[in-house]
């Protein structure tokens, strides 16, 4: 009995030392089993069946073989967090679950993350980025959405958006283009293969799987919403402008303009300069139609009815009312038709005059054939209600 009491005290000291060392928040599933081992050891010592020195050494070896030192644990946590960008709580939980096996924990984290991403897929994602890519004959723009602006600024999210835009240049469809612009949605694009080369998202995968993986890393609903492709004619020039751009190829509002010049013209620099200015015009002035002639009869009838109602409230005679309506209708055309708008860099002229001046400068007629304006999150509520995508196109 005296020997048992003598042994019990150093074991108690070791127990409190161990529990104090690991009581700062790490929830190790192995601690409970080791305490049970300790109790068994104490019982065997009291019974006289086991050498206290040999039993104590076995306990130490058993504990240290399954849980690495604290410094090693912190290193593994840091490595896995750098690889996945997952929350530190989830990183630690996966490492403990997988007995501190880094590769197994990364796989487990991705599995759990994808389940989490699936659960969050119904949440509204109205933030995000537009990504634009261009080659000699096409411009592609895609919209990748997320829930918060914080995620939209994340470099993994932005890398995926740019990769998707570059791949969108390969989209082909037999469907009829709308006003020279080919819109496409998830049903056409999500199964396309991407070859990603990023430390945290890499390898060959589908667009759908890449989006799901980034959603898992970000902890938010991330989804590809829509894309547009515009092609130029053999004698045309495509110009794109991105507003609120954190880096080349990314922004929150995109304006794309297609210019066409008759015949072979070598003064492309002047045409490209005006094309860039017109892309800015599209972003800033928000035209709905290319020219006054292309404003729909329904839009004119609706606007005329509104203007007439407003004019009648003044109490003036019918002739005066008609003059007021016609004057305000001309103002309406200046707002919604690109060719009638005042040039944002020189409001002394309109876009039609700008193109006339450009045609004289290059010696060949130049005209706008198409334009496109896209903004992150526009029409999200309408999209959720009626499953329609919206964009302002020529």
- Residue 67 pLDDT: 64
Nearest to 254 by CA among 134, 373, 391, 126: 373
Q: How far apart are CA 198 and CA 14, in angstroms?
A: 47
Which residue(s) pair with 350 in the sheet? 342
Count the Cβ atoms, other than its own, within 10 Å of residue 193.
12
- Evaluated on CA atoms 357, 362, 368, 370, the torsion sign reads negative
Does pLDDT of 386 surpass 50?
A: no
Q: Indicate the pLDDT class of residue 173, thresholds 50, 70 and 90.
A: low
For residue 365, report the phi and psi dihedrals to the nearest 5 degrees.
Answer: -65, 135
Strand-pair partners of 156: none
CA distance 298 to 289: 13
Whether pTM exceeds 0.75: no
d(CA 49, CA 59): 16
Residues of the chain above pLDDT 70, percent: 73
pLDDT-derived band at 263, boundaries 50, 70, 90:
confident
pLDDT at residue 202 greater than cutoff 80: yes
| 221-238 CB burial, b ≥16 within 10 A, e <16 | bbbbbbbbbbbbeeebbb
The pLDDT value recorded for residue 287 is 97
Confidence at residue 85, expressed as pLDDT on a 0 to 100 scale? 66
pLDDT computed for residue 118 by the predictor = 66
The predicted pLDDT at position 342 comes to: 96
Pairing of strands 181-184, 342-343: unpaired
What is the rounded distance in angstroms from the CA atom of residue 135 to the CA atom of residue 166? 9
Work out the pLDDT band at 264, boundaries 50, 70, 90: confident
85 contacts: CB under 8 Å, gap ≥ 6: 154, 156, 200, 217, 218
The pLDDT tens digits for 97-136 are: 888 888 888 777 777 766 566 666 678 789 999 999 999 8
pLDDT tens digits, 203-260: 999 999 899 889 988 888 999 999 999 998 778 899 999 999 999 999 999 999 999 9
242-245, long-range: CB within 8 Å, 24+ apart, which pairs?
242/130, 242/132, 243/283
Question: CA separation (Å) from 263 to 278, 350, 353, 368?
Answer: 21, 25, 21, 15
Q: Which residue has the higher pLDDT, 40 or 236?
A: 236
pLDDT at 216: 86
pLDDT of residue 27: 45
pLDDT of residue 367: 94
pLDDT band at 394 (very low <50, low <70, confident <90, very high): low
The confidence score (pLDDT) of residue 78 equals 83
Residues 6+ apart with CB under 8 A from 234: none
**Of 125-134, 311-320, 352-361, which range is least confident?**
311-320
Average pLDDT over residues 280-307: 94
Q: From the CB of residue 27, how many other CB atoms can be counted at a distance below 10 Å? A: 9
Q: What is the mean pLDDT of the chain?
A: 80
Residue 378 burial by Cβ neighbours in a 10 Å radius (0-12, 13-18, 19+): middle
Report how far apart the first and last C-alpha atoms of the chain are (Å, whole number): 96
């Amino acid at each position: 009995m005296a020997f048992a009491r003598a042994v019990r005290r150093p074991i108690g000291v070791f127990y409190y030392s161990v529990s104090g060392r690991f009581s700062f928040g790490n929830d190790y599933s192995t601690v409970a089993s080791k305490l049970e081992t300790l109790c068994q050891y104490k019982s065997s010592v009291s019974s006289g069946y086991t050498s206290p020195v040999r039993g104590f050494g076995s306990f130490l070896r058993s504990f240290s073989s399954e849980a690495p030192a604290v410094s090693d644990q912190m290193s593994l946590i840091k490595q896995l967090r750098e690889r996945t960008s997952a929350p530190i709580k989830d990183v630690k939980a996966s490492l403990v679950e997988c007995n501190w096996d880094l590769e197994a924990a990364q796989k487990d984290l991705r599995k759990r993350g994808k389940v989490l991403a699936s659960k969050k897929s119904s949440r509204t994602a109205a933030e995000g980025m537009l990504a634009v890519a261009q080659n000699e004959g096409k411009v592609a723009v895609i919209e990748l959405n997320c829930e918060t602006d914080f995620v939209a600024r994340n470099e993994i999210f932005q890398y995926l958006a740019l990769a998707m835009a570059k791949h969108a240049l390969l989209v082909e469809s037999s469907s009829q283009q709308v006003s020279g612009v080919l819109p496409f949605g998830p049903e056409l694009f999500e199964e396309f293969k991407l070859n990603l080369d990023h430390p945290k998202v890499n390898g060959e995968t589908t667009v759908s799987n890449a989006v799901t993986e980034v959603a898992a890393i970000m902890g938010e609903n991330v989804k590809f919403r829509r894309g547009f492709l515009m092609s130029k004619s053999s004698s045309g020039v495509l110009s794109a402008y991105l507003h609120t751009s954190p880096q080349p190829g990314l922004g929150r509002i995109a304006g794309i303009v297609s210019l066409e010049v008759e015949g072979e013209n070598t003064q492309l620099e002047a045409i490209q300069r005006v094309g860039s200015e017109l892309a800015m015009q599209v972003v800033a002035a928000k035209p709905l139609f290319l020219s006054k002639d292309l404003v729909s009869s329904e839009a004119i009838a609706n606007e005329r009815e509104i203007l007439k109602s407003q004019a009648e409230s003044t109490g003036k005679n019918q002739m005066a009312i008609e003059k007021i309506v016609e004057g305000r209708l001309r103002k309406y055309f200046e707002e919604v038709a690109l060719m009638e708008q005042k040039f944002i860099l020189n409001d002394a002229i309109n876009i039609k005059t700008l193109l006339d001046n450009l045609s004289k400068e290059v010696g060949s007629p130049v005209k706008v054939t198409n334009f496109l304006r896209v903004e992150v999150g526009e029409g999200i509520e309408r999209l959720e209600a009626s499953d329609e995508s919206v964009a302002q196109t020529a």
